[in-house]
Amino acid sequence: MRTRTREPQTLGSEGTLGRMARILAARNIGPSTVAELTDEPEPFSPLDALLAAMPPRYQDAVADYPQVLAWTRDVAEAAAAPSQ
């Protein structure tokens, strides 16, 4: 399929909406089921976000260099608690 020469289609076109309805019907998902769904925020953990972004080889790292430890203490002491 050539996408460069094809005209773009909006998501809300009849063909797209009809296709989505057919896919949902094939999976026994009715419009009422979709309407009942609520948007609940997923729980967020800053530690989980940090570990997900950190390369595995650094996840178990330990700071044992004296200058690094001193710098870490200075930053932690100067840090302000988030406002509530």
Query: pLDDT digit string (tens) for 37-78?
Result: 777 777 888 888 888 899 989 888 888 899 999 998 898 888
Please tell me the distance from the alpha carbon of residue 16 to that of residue 10, in angstroms, as a whole number: 8
Indicate the pTM of the whole model: 0.32
Tens of pLDDT, residues 17-28: 888 889 989 998
Residues in contact with 51: Cβ distance below 8 Å, sequence separation at least 6, in sequence order: 59
